[in-house]
Structure 1
Amino acid sequence: MTATPPRLVLIDGSSYLYRAFHALPPLTNDAGEPTGALFGVVNMLRATLNERPDFVAYVVDAPGRTFRDDLYPQYKATRSAMPDDLRAQVQPMCDIVHALGIDILRVDGVEADDVIGTLAVQAAAQGIAVTISTGDKDFAQLVRNADGGAGIALVNTMSGSRLDSDARVVEKFGVRPEQIVDYLALMGDSVDNIIGVDKCGPKTAAKWLAEYGTLDAVIAHADAVKGKIGENLRAALPRLPLNRTLATIKLDVALDRTPNELLLRERHVDQLRGLYARYGFKQALRELDGGAGDAGAAGVRNTAAGYARTGGAAAEAPDAALAAPGEYEMVTTPEQLDAWVARLHAADEFAFDTETDSLDALCANLVGISLAVAPGHAAYIPVGHDYPGAPAQLGRGEVLDALRPLFADAGKRKLGQHGKYDLHVLRCHGVDVRGYADDTMLESFVFNATASRHDMDSLAKRYLGYDTIKFSDVAGKGAKQILFSQVALDDATRYAAEDADVTLRLHRALAPKLAAEPALERVYREIEMPLVPVLARIEANGVLIDGDELRRQSADLGRRMLALQQQATELAGRTFNLDSPKQVCALLFEELKLPALVKTPTGQPSANEEALEAISDQHELPRVILDYRSLAKLRSTYTDKLPEMVNARTGRVHTSYHQAGAATGRLASSDPNLQNIPIRTADGRRIRKAFVAPPGRKIVACDYSQIELRIMAHLSEDPALLRAFGSGADIHRATAAEVFGKAIDEVGSDERRAAKAINFGLMYGMSAFGLAKQLGIGRGEAQDYIALYFARYPGVRDFMERTRQQAREQGYVETVFGRRLYLENIAARNQGLRAGAERAAINAPMQGTAADIIKRAMIAIDAWLAGQGAAGQEVPALMVLQVHDELVFEADADFVPTLLEAVTGRMSAAAELRVPLVVDSGIGDNWDEAH
């Protein structure tokens, strides 16, 4: 029986820190320190150590220049600086690695790759089986078949993939390990700023090497390669030898340690415990305190399983076919366009993306369109690149005319990533898209709203293990960033075609995940996807703004702000800047000696709204500052800004709605944000006066009445709550009657106010302390109110406890329609984190169900509106705004009764609850009058 060889694990530390940073959400510890990259790498290290290697080293790049910089001064010149949040995690990472007993290796003048390569070949020569833990494809050149078990293998611990033989390397890259360097030289590497053969992708490089064997042979036969790619090869010949040198991992680095000296040292348990506690690594702490061995390994597996369940970094390995590099075509001739149109006609579905010169979809000019019909195969059709010397491109009209029938075909499925933007762009250029079937941003959002950012770059890394080209890679950053119309066509093609390609790949990866969860797939198919064109129409409709009214309000706010500044100066006894937190803190806490009851994450006194509210009963000045800030915010955010946001073409303001914002499913809006216009203050309500109807029309507002309380009654099935809503009683007065044991007509205003605070407060997890503060009563009295409430509504208490238990068991809660909210901290040891997750568990089903209901109503109303009015005539009503539980319309005055009947009926019928859904409505010349 052959003895098992000893094992050496070489960890590519720099690579994993970066990959974990980008793969994980921006996690922080209780002190606000970033921990996302640390979390990913620590889990990888724990998993590695539980496999009990004989030797191990953590290898990182040394600071300063390397021999490659001397050979090629532009080497890695395009790499952006390390993000501050990642830089802050480098030293803590080294501290943890050291405390684990692992040697950290760095050698001046070379890269970590060279240190790893040297150790790997030395160890294999000594009969040691080598595992290189990395996600870097360059290391494939080192793979050696295991002769007697002492080969060199690559393991991507984040994805679980393994390359341990020539055959596996060929399967992944199409070339043998000894050809990898030549393969890299031909393709180049945009990350390292190594310029390969233009238009030479993985398949072309592999084809050439399959035919000629080596880079030298490819160079020797360059004249035999036909077409444009042959011209590109011949143009690149002078730089290919240097490319090969840059891509070759050195195997002869002078090291002060040999592989068999890399023994795992004894752990510094106390130091590890302190580090794990500081950064909130609870599972690692439990493993540390519970010992290593099997228990530790189980702990790692449980952590990975839990994180996979919530869509975390430990999710299953991506399909290798969906992670492979793609081949992209630039379409600049009628023949190429005809060929792609034929491919699109033959395909059941295709992904598309637009490139423009503006983030404002309603003002943007189309610069190009990208298309993909199969993973790895995409095209970019440039139509508007206008930099000096730009190659000839097809005409925009010619391209749109060719594609218009395909986009208009409702039976042809179209895929996009945040495709609402692209729908706007194409509509503004005369192309209406029908059959928009899937959106990868929404697939990810519905699958797990909290697991990840839902932008393409984040999703590609998470679900495909694929690093996309960033916009800044081709257009630059900051003041030097250029418009996409100025980007060179070759760069534009790589970037834009990849967008369509990755969208198609993401759909292939995400669709099966949703299909495996029927409730989630229904949310996606029946709510989120049908809502996309509805929101696009609302955004395109826009809302009319009375600029004169806003200017009058701005002038009034300015006068009152000046008066408050003068009052503050008198109270302080000197002038100071009310907008400066530093000056406010110095005045309040150093000069006036007021208590600093709220601190910043760094422990300094805070001057935020919460801090000033906390001391507003101790001095008049904090309240004056709060009033000033409130007016200043209204002025800067709305009265000054809204007139500047009127679209010159439409004369209206067009907000943008975001479906993948709040985890509960509530819509958000931006540019401008119309969800946050204050409603509780007279000044906030006054802003709504500026949202007006044009002559001959009216503003109609329809608002769900107490929808979240009604959902609470439905979910809790509490008899008293169901009875109150069923009878149409004032729910707050009915609650007061129940709690205080009175007849409804005997309830006083203070008792109703207390009941209202309890009704809404309990849904948001309000404690007795919070209720006492809101009502201005003692904590004991507030606790008595809550006890009385639960005594009269025991179904609510049971529902809340049942929901907490479900959240602890499943890790998530659901809305009535099946939308999930995952709760990462529901089992946290930290009481504050756990309590926050429990509050979210109780509130999310109600808030999320309310969001689902109004979305369903919007879909039904939009479908009804589409059938109103004669063809070719202006529609009699438009849906122009959605704000929380309210829908706002603009309608012909004589159409208002018809609209009200249809809208209120459809809003009431948007869900079948155990209590009626009541809709309040109003009509006016402006939004304030109608609300």
Structure 2
Amino acid sequence: MPEQTPPRLVLIDGSSYLYRAFHALPPLSNAAGEPTGALFGVVNMLRATLKEQPDCAAFVVDAPGKTFRDDLYPQYKANRPPMPEDLRVQVEPMLQVVEALGLPILRIAGVEADDVIGTLALAAARAGSAVTISTSDKDFAQLVRGFDGGGRIELVNTMSGSRLDNDEAVAAKFGVRAAQIVDLLALMGDAIDNVPGVEKCGPKTAAKWLAEYGSLDGVIAAAAGIKGKVGDNLRAALPRLPLNRELVTIKTDVPLDLPADALKLRARDTQTLRNFYTRYGFNQALRELEGNVAPEPAPGGKGALRATAAGYARAATAPQGAPDAALAAPGDYETVLTRAQLQAWVAKLQAADEFAFDTETDALDAMRAGLVGLSLAVESGRACYIPLAHVYPGAPAQLPMQEVLEALRPLLADPGKRKLGQHGKYDLHVLRRHGVDVAGYADDTMLESFVLNATASRHDLDSLAQRYLGYRTLQFTDVAGKGAKQIGFDQVALEDATRYAAEDADITLRLHRLLAPKLAAEPSLQRVYREIEMPLVPVLARIEANGVLIDAAELRRQSADLGQRMLAAQQQATALAGRTFNLDSPKQVCALLYEELQLPARVKTPGGQPSANEEALEAIAELHELPRVILEYRGLAKLRSTYTDKLPEMVNPATGRVHTSYHQAGAATGRLASSDPNLQNIPIRTEDGRRIRRAFVAPPGRRILACDYSQIELRIMAHLSQDPALLRAFASGADIHRATAAEVFGKAIEDVSGNERRAAKAINFGLMYGMSAFGLAKQLGIARGEAQDYIALYFSRYPGVRDFMDATRQQARERGYVETVFGRRLYLDNIHARNQGLRAGAERAAINAPMQGTAADIIKRAMIDIDAWLAGQRGRTGAAPALMVLQVHDELVFEVDDDFVETLRAEASARMAAAASLRVPLVVDSGVGADWDQAH
């Protein structure tokens, strides 16, 4: 007869769960501002526990009021601080989710949760059950043991995954057997519970005494003979040791009047869990509840609480409060296949003040994608999909694309008809390339969300639907498959395509109806959205469509040169190493530098291993020539692979140009980002990096004009700080770094040396980015004390800057955000973080964001103004005398007719300078050339 598995009982130490989760995770919150960090940890650990399918379980917490230990020792736990407010408010929700998961909750007055757990554990184990106590509290180690009849008690720390299931495991961890744990704790004391032990007696000393004398009674009996200061401390503590033992002993005989089924698991309350997970943004738990993903495995060595930064971000994407059921309800979607259906939708659009639209395509590149279908929505919950190019076998007949576009053209091109989209710039490109120029693009839900709070969430449709509506959208992979078996959207069956595509238009409309009032309630944010972000959408679309001409032959020449220099660096590295090795292999580089050459590993990986990254090589470059050669090789290889080899491959065959994509909802400060290709990260500090700009050229009869703001962030600092000396320096038109050096070093401006100007420049820019004295010392190659003196001198000459920085930090702490000159906000989630590093990072961001964000707002305003002016300069043929082709940080680049260069130079510079009214003038530098490099 096979051996019968003993029944399993899991007893969960609720207080341990809550406090450990609270202190292990950063201070997360949902969109409504409710703290969620402890809840997130508790829910993850409970899910992991329940996946092991215990027969019985209980979640045990302390009951309010005093216990018998308070009567024994009035100072028991007297030094415990009150529960933090952001933890206290998570207690009740924690109990609600525990109950919804079907776990019995036990609270017994007069004793602690430990005593309830001890009593239940001992009784169950004696009756033959396998008992698991889920806790991180070391006190429970006193209960670990086996019993005749198969019963046992083990401890599992669900956070770390560690397990203590026998005397050997307890001894390996604590140095004593389970039966000696009480004596160990009595000797050591417990600072958390305010139980004073023997002074200077730590776990090693206590374990040593118990190994030698067997028990606390044995140690007490031998106390007179224990020598040294620790012996004196033991003898001084003898009167309180018996009380200590009583205080740290877990009671196992608490009278419990519990019903027979008190520890039986109940069925989950699925609806309550769904509402809870949605409210607090626990997306993985929600997907598991709905059966859309396989449950995570039970915890292994790393436990259930896998606290990664990505996990934190996902945990903080909850909808704002309990979602409106109507907003989260499925929609009613129609596939438009007949002319009658199309005309009915045209009539709906004509009668509506606004409508949402979306395109489906066969590629991600908007400049090459073919149109596959269109979706439209005029009311929440109702939408249609008009398929145009689904070509799978057996696909139903679809309306001709040109007929559909002609029917919709008057509505899409009508500036008085408000159009809504999600990341609509992509759709504007696709429709323009198919002959429809959209006008009246009025609202974009991605940008509404971004302006409301750039850091609260991702701004893609799926994330916004989950966050604001509590709605889980259909994924592309749900209809098109994954990996090698994924099909194009033109191969997706119309029923599936309709559910996916029409949902996009419907959810976009729902989101707009919810987000628009939120923006309207914040006038400063509404202005940023209406006056900067939305008007910029068509401007960026035109810049992207214009593209920039690339000289592929020049890039090939540069690639060949870089390749030769890489080979030379490789040969030099081989000579220095005395053998061949792969310069691209971090493992081989580490072995060579740190094991063979015995260079110090000054930079380590997160796992504690020596690093071979750029910072690590820079740190040892002065000790040996080889790290510098490796750095040179890598720099050349990166330029070649990222730019000189890749850019010619990215030329659009239809236009002969490279078309980057600009992202408005990328950087939280509002700065634009560029991708495919990224033209904003071309290095300009090296000659090789600058040389790449020679390949960005103008066609015959045209020139490249580059207009660049001069020291714009420093000027914004002067405006915001109102420091008199800084304002005077900019008003005079002096070299600001030389003027700063003159102030700091107490010299006439003409007597400032090159090194002094370099130091002043490092301070000017470093302070804006939160550079410390250590960082300044490293940059300038000086002692830290000298760098600190420089900073002190700077603030003594520019006290307004220090006052501004202090006031900005204070505003960030009080409001939770800082603002640009134009009212854009940057929320700082970590400004009150318990972790000093996170908090310091938030304070640095608080100083920098108003300047970087204002600079981003200014150049966006300039782009909108210049674009409008250029639109009025077209000749009788409609040809544009100039094109805006690039935006790179604080610079605008134009391709301009030879005879229009000076007109545009004067007009663009003037409009850029007038894009903001600051207390100091905005200065614009400009240059002209046959290529982008010459224009500098």
Q: Is the 2:359–2:374 Cα contact (8 Å) retained in structure 1? A: yes
Provide the secondary structure at the position in 2 that maps to 1:821: strand
CA gap 1:771/1:51 in 2 versus in 1, 3 angstroms: closer
Q: Distance in 2 between matches of 1:400 and 1:131?
A: 57
Q: What's the CA shift for 1:521?
A: 1.1
Measured in 1, the distance between the counterparts of 2:603 and 2:728 equals 43
Alpha-carbon displacement from aligned partner over 1:336-383 (angstroms, at most 9, x marks no partner): 000000000011110000000000111111000000011110000000
Contact residue 367 and residue 385 of structure 1 kept, 8 A:
yes
Cα offset for 1:527?
0.6
Q: Which residue pairs with 1:736 in the alignment?
A: 741
Picking from 382, 385, 397, the partner of 2:387 is 382
Name which of 766, 769, 775 aligns with 1:770.
Answer: 775
Q: 1:846 aligns with which of 837, 843, 851?
A: 851
Kindly state the Cα deviation for residue 503 of structure 1 after the two structures are TM-superposed.
Answer: 0.5
Give the match for residue 446 of structure 2.
441
Preserved CA contact (<8 Å) 2:445 2:511: yes
**Are residues 1:657 and 2:662 paired?**
yes
Amino acid across the alignment from 2:431? L
Distance in 1 (alpha carbons) for counterparts of 2:710 and 2:689: 20
Partner Cα distance (1:489, 1:431) in 2: 24
- Match for residue 156 of structure 1 among 271, 275, 278: 275
Cα shift at 1:159: 4.6
* Deviation for aligned residue 1:610: 1.0
Aligned residue runs from structure 1 range 552-571, under 5 A: 552-571=557-576
In structure 2, the residue matched to 1:709 is: 714
**Separation in 1 of the partners of 2:646 and 2:360?**
28
Q: Render the CA deviation track for 1:131-167: whole Å, top value 9, x for unaligned.
A: 9876x5xx5xxxxxxxxxxxxx677124559xxxxxx
Cα deviation for residue 54 of structure 1 reads 12
Cα deviations by residue, 1:472-513 (Å, 9 ceiling, x for unpaired)? 111111111111001111110100000101111111121121
2:884 is the alignment partner of 1:821: no
Q: Which structure has the greater CA radius of gyration?
A: 2
Relative to structure 1, the CA distance from residue 58 to residue 778 in structure 2 (aligned partners, 3 Å threshold; closer, same or farther) is same
**Aligned: 1:501 with 2:506:** yes
**What corresponds to 1:699 in structure 2?**
704
1:335 aligns with 2:359: no
**1:185-224 pair list within 5 angstroms:** none
Structure 1 residue identity aligned to 2:765: F
Matched residue SS, 2:356: strand
Map 1:148-547 onto structure 2 (within 5 A).
Answer: 156-159=275-278, 312-313=317-318, 315-547=320-552
Q: 1:604 is paired with a residue of what secondary structure?
A: coil
Counterpart for residue 724 of structure 1: 729
Q: Distance in 1 between matches of 2:289 and 2:725?
A: 66
2:684 aligned residue: 679
Q: Residues 721 and 803 of structure 2 are in contact (CA less than 8 Å); yes or no, is this contact kept in structure 1?
A: yes
Cα shift at 1:57? 7.0
User: Alpha-carbon deviations, 1:115-135, whole Å to 9, x = none?
Assistant: xxxxxxxx999999x99876x
> Structure 1, residues 825-851: CA drift from partner, whole Å, max 9, x if none?
111222211111111110111001000
> CA, structure 1 residues 645+891, in 2 after alignment: closer, same or farther (shift >3 Å)?
same
CA apart distance, 1:607: 1.1
Q: Which moved more, 1:645-654 or 1:610-619?
A: 610-619
Separation (CA, whole Å) in 1 of partners of 2:613 and 2:902: 47
CA RMSD, 1 decimal: 3.6
**Within 1, Cα distance between the matches of 2:587 and 2:354?**
57
Contact 2:38 2:90 in 1 (8 A): no
After superposition, what is the alpha-carbon deviation per residue over 1:660-693, rounded to whole angstroms, capped at 9, x for unaligned? 0000000000000000000100000000000000
Q: 2:556·2:644 contact (CA, 8 Å) conserved in 1?
A: yes
The alignment partner of 1:795 has SS state of helix
The aligned counterpart of 1:643 is: 648
Q: In 2 relative to 1, CA 467–193 (structure 1 residues): closer, same or farther, beyond 3 Å?
A: closer
Q: SS where residue 618 of structure 1 aligns?
A: coil
Q: Give unmatched runs, 5+ long, in structure 1.
A: 1-9, 28-33, 61-91, 100-122, 140-152, 162-188, 195-273, 282-302
Q: Which moved more, 1:507-516 or 1:914-923?
A: 507-516
Equivalent residue runs for 1:745-784 within 5 Å? 745-784=750-789
The alignment of Structure 1 onto Structure 2 pairs a total of residues equal to 706
Secondary structure, in 3 states, of the residue corresponding to 2:591? helix
CA distance in 2, matches of 1:318, 1:683: 54
How far did residue 322 of structure 1 move? Answer: 1.3
Write the deviation string for residues 187-224 of structure 1: whole angstroms up to 9, x where unpaired.
xx998699xxxxxxxxxxxxxxxxxxxxxxxxxxxxxx
Residue type at the aligned position of 2:814: E
Distance 1:93 1:867 in 2: 73
Per the alignment, do residues 480 and 682 of structure 1 end up closer, same or farther by CA in structure 2, a change over 3 Å counting? same
Kindly state the Cα deviation for residue 709 of structure 1 after the two structures are TM-superposed. Answer: 0.2
Render the CA deviation track for 1:675-724: whole Å, top value 9, x for unaligned.
00001000000000000000000000000000000000000000000000
Aligned pairs (5 A) from 1:100-111? none
Given that 1:387 and 1:486 are in contact with CA atoms closer than 8 Å, whether structure 2 keeps it comes out as yes
- Residues 827 and 776 (structure 1 numbering): CA distance in 2 closer, same or farther, change over 3 Å? same
Instruction: Determine the C-alpha separation between the residues in 2 that align with 1:500 and 1:450.
Output: 24
Q: 2:158 aligns with which of 84, 95, 109?
A: 95
Distance 2:767 2:94 in 1: 48
Aligned match of 1:928 in 926, 930, 933? 933
Does 605-614 or 398-407 show the bigger shift? 605-614
CA offset at residue 323 of structure 1? Answer: 1.1
Question: Could you tell me how far apart the structure 2 residues matched to 1:550 and 1:35 are?
Answer: 54
Pick the aligned partner of 1:612 from 603, 609, 617: 617
What is residue 918 of structure 2 aligned with on the other side?
A: 913
State the AA in 1 paired with 2:385: Y
Distance in 1 (CA, whole Å) between partners of 2:904 and 2:334 is: 50
Gaps of 5+ in 2: 1-13, 32-36, 46-85, 104-154, 163-257, 281-287, 294-301
Contact 1:26 1:35 in 2 (8 A): no
- What is the alpha-carbon distance in structure 2 between the residues aligned to residue 54 and residue 532 of structure 1? 44
CA contact (8 A) 2:361 2:489 kept: yes
Aligned counterparts of 1:904 and 1:762: Cα–Cα separation in 2: 28
**Change in 2 beyond 3 A, CA 1:871/1:380:** farther
Structure 2 CA distance for aligned equivalents of residues 382 and 594 of structure 1 = 64
1:577 corresponding residue in structure 2: 582
CA distance in 1, matches of 2:367, 2:319: 40
Deviations 1:284-309 (A, max 9, x none): xxxxxxxxxxxxxxxxxxx9xxx99x
> Where does residue 810 of structure 2 map in the other structure?
805
Which residue does the alignment assign to 2:3?
Answer: none
Q: What's the offset of the Cα at 1:45?
A: 12
Structure 1 residues 455 and 793: CA distance shift in structure 2, 3 A: same
Q: CA deviation at 1:749?
A: 0.7
In the alignment, is the contact (CA less than 8 A) between 2:317 and 2:466 conserved in 1? no
Report the Cα offset of residue 581 of structure 1: 1.0
Query: What does the per-residue CA deviation read over 1:742-792, in whole Å, with 9 as the maximum and x for residues that have no partner?
Result: 111111111111100100011111111111111111111111111100000
Mapped contact 1:732–1:755 kept (Cα < 8 A): yes
Check the 8 A contact 2:744/2:793 in 1, yes or no: yes
Q: Deviation per CA, 1:48-95, whole angstroms, max 9, x where unpaired?
A: 6467679847469xxxxxxxxxxxxxxxxxxxxxxxxxxxxxxx9992
Letter in 1 for 2:482: K
* 1:721 aligned counterpart, secondary structure: helix
Contact residue 58 and residue 97 of structure 1 kept, 8 A: no
Query: How far has the Cα of 1:326 moved from its partner?
Result: 0.3
Alignment partner of 2:378: what SS? strand
CA distance in 2, matches of 1:686, 1:37: 51
How far apart, CA to CA, are the structure 1 residues paired with 2:666 and 2:376?
27
Q: In the superposition, relative to structure 1, how do residues 514 and 915 fare at CA in structure 2: closer, same or farther (>3 Å)?
A: same
CA apart distance, 1:320:
2.1
